[in-house]
Amino acid sequence: MAMETRNKLRIDIELTLHRDPSFKFFVNNILLTEPVTTLYFDLLDDIHLSYQSLSNAGAVEIQNISVNGNQILPKYLHLASPPTNWIEKINHWDFSIPSPFYKWHQVTTGQGDAF
């Protein structure tokens, strides 16, 4: 039985900008142009979030990043590099889900092993 997986992964992003920061924030190499954004990906896609500072001015606060209604950040900040949701005077920040989301979520929440 075939299952359609395109656009089944909804990622909601809410960033708060403090003191007019100059930065780039990417989700799977897609540059965000607004601090509140919703993007859709394939259900089986990996997820990679990255931040790049363009100056030392201002700060970016990650208020919420959720996948299909499941909060990922700031809940799992310990998996980010560096582990913070307040990005200030940091040149680079990363967070990755290196496998399909529901597989990763099951392992991360202690609901079972990877299959």
What does pTM read for this prediction? Answer: 0.90
Q: Where are the domains of the chain?
A: 9-108
Do 11 and 67 contact (CB within 8 A), yes or no?
Answer: yes
Nearest-angstrom CA–CA distance, 51 and 23: 7
Local structure of 93: helix, strand or coil: strand
Do 87 and 62 contact (CB within 8 A), yes or no?
Answer: yes
Give the model's pLDDT for residue 113.
67
2.60.40.10, 2.60.300.12, 3.40.50.720, 2.60.60.40: CATH of 9-108? 2.60.60.40
Do 109 and 76 contact (CB within 8 A), yes or no?
Answer: no
Look at residue 32 and tell me whether its pLDDT is greater than 60.
Answer: yes
The helix (H) or strand (E) run that includes residue 102 is helix 101-108
Local structure of 104: helix, strand or coil: helix
pLDDT digits (tens, 9 = 90+) for 58-82: 999 999 999 999 999 999 999 999 9
